[in-house]
């Protein structure tokens, strides 16, 4: 073997291992379980129009406050079918609400709001936080100082109260977007303001670190413009961190959305939403119908739990150094 061949062998980059989902699942059982939960919830929310049993918005779709049962006949004397003497069976997997809406269908559709608002919030919050951090850290000086103090101030206001104030401040004059109603857009903007300062702080640290790196210095030496350095050299190196921050803030965003809906500041009244279904009207009936208190909360907890454990193991897989920092 010639010297060149030997050197080639010694310095060869080992072939990149193909990502094997099964091996990952064995190494990160918690993460895999989280992924399963996420997939289940997404199927439930995504395929809600196929899986639902009755229109979630319709009053009196079933007997009011009826317990969960499968393929049962209605015992409600007031029900239209009963009065007309039609034999009539229904599925009430999760029971019905005090106004006779079907809770199973509402929980399915409620997942849509939570996932939609959560994902949109986190995307906007992470993107905006990253862009601001990039610009501020790169501009340095007064700009960096001012943005930093602004972030400090926003962090000092408790998140729920900030979102609450923002929600009432901007609620009226927003447009309806396709697939995102005005109320949902308000929630998204109010909650993403809550995540921006935290993302900004972490990202700023990262930009400062990367700016000192040798390859940025090399790019400066060959005369690359600041814009080019930011776009071609710094931004690609932040994607890993962005993914981790996104996956870790998502469950928190879903929780804030549910809390605001619970306070009555979420979606339009009557629209299925996990937070809203736990509040207001149904709260008075929790002692009569345990299912009212259990199922929307269980769905919410399961979703947040799934995203939490998946996010954790995603962080450990992508960048174990971040453990304990995020």
Partner 1 sequence: MTGYIIRRLIAVPFMLIGISFILFMLIYIRPGSAAFISIGSAMSDPANIERFEERFGLNDPWYEQYGKWLGNALTGDFGVTLRTPHQPVADRLADHIGNTLQIGFITIIMAAIFGISVGVLSAVRRNSILDYIFRGVTIAGISVPNFWVAILVVSLPARWWNWTPLATDWVSFTDDPFRNLSIIIWPAMILALASAAGTARLVRTSMLEVFYSDYVRTARSKGLREGRVIWSHVFRNSLIPVVTLIGLQTGAVLGGVVIAELIFGIPGLGTLTLGAVIAQDYPLVLSSLMLFAFVFVVVTLIVDVLYTVIDPRIRY
How far, CA to CA in Å, does 38 sit from each of 41, 68, 140, 170, 310? 5, 24, 40, 32, 9
For partner 1, which residue of 43, 154, 216, 224 counts as binding (CB under 8 A)? 154
For partner 1, which residue of 159, 181, 183, 253 counts as binding (CB under 8 A)? 159
Max Cα–Cα distance, the chain, nearest Å: 95
Q: Which residues inside 261-300 make contact with partner 1, applying CB under 8 A? A: 262-263, 275, 278, 283, 286-287, 290, 293, 297, 300
How far, CA to CA in Å, does 266 sit from each of 9, 129, 189, 204, 259? 61, 24, 12, 32, 9
For partner 1, which residue of 38, 107, 166, 242 counts as binding (CB under 8 A)? 166
**Would you count residue 161 as binding partner 1 (CB under 8 A)?**
yes
For partner 1, give the closer residue by CB, 154 or 180: 154
Q: Which two tokens stand for residue 168?
A: 């009432």
**Would you count residue 27 as binding partner 1 (CB under 8 A)?**
no
Q: Where are the alpha helices (DSSP H) in the chain?
A: 3-11, 21-27, 29-46, 48-51, 80-83, 103-139, 141-156, 159-170, 182-211, 214-221, 226-228, 235-262, 274-277, 280-283, 290-318
For partner 1, which residue of 62, 110, 251, 272 counts as binding (CB under 8 A)? 251
For partner 1, give the closer residue by CB, 230 or 278: 278
Across-strand partners of 90?
72
For partner 1, give the closer residue by CB, 58 or 283: 283
For partner 1, give the closer residue by CB, 56 or 197: 197
Q: Is 188 helix (H, G, I), strand (E, B) or coil?
A: helix
- Chain residues binding partner 1 by CB under 8 A are 30, 149-150, 152-161, 164-166, 168-173, 251, 255, 258-259, 262-263, 275, 278, 283, 286-287, 290, 293, 297, 300-301, 304-305, 308-309, 312, 323-325
């Amino acid at each position: 073997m010639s010297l060149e061949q030997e050197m080639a062998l010694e310095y060869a980059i080992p072939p990149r291992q193909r990502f094997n989902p099964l091996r990952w699942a064995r190494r990160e059982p918690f993460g895999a379980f989280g992924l399963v939960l996420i997939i289940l919830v997404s199927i439930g929310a995504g395929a809600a129009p196929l899986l639902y049993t009755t229109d979630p918005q319709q009053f009196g779709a079933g007997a009011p406050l009826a317990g969960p049962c499968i393929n049962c006949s209605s015992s409600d004397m007031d029900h239209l079918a009963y009065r007309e003497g039609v034999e009539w069976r229904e599925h009430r997997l999760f029971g019905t609400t005090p106004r006779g809406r079907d809770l199973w269908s509402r929980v399915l559709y409620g997942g849509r709001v939570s996932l939609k608002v959560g994902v949109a919030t986190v995307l906007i919050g992470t993107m905006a936080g990253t862009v601001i951090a990039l610009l501020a850290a790169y501009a340095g000086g007064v700009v960096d100082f001012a943005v930093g103090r602004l972030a400090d101030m926003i962090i000092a206001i408790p998140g729920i109260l900030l979102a609450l104030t923002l929600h009432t401040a901007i609620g009226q004059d927003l447009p309806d977007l396709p697939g995102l109603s005005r109320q949902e857009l308000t929630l998204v903007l109010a909650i993403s303001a809550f995540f921006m300062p935290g993302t900004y702080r972490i990202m700023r640290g990262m930009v400062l670190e990367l700016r000192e790196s040798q390859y940025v210095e090399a790019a400066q030496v060959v005369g690359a413009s600041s814009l080019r350095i930011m776009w071609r050299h710094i931004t690609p190196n932040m994607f890993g961190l962005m993914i981790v921050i996104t996956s870790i803030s998502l469950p928190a965003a879903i929780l804030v959305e549910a809390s605001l809906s619970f306070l009555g500041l979420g979606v339009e009244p009557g629209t299925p939403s996990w937070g809203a279904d736990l509040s207001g009207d149904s709260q008075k009936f929790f002692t009569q119908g345990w299912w009212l208190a259990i199922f929307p909360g269980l769905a919410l907890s399961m979703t947040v739990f799934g995203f939490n454990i998946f996010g954790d193991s995603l962080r450990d897989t992508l960048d174990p150094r971040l453990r304990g920092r995020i």
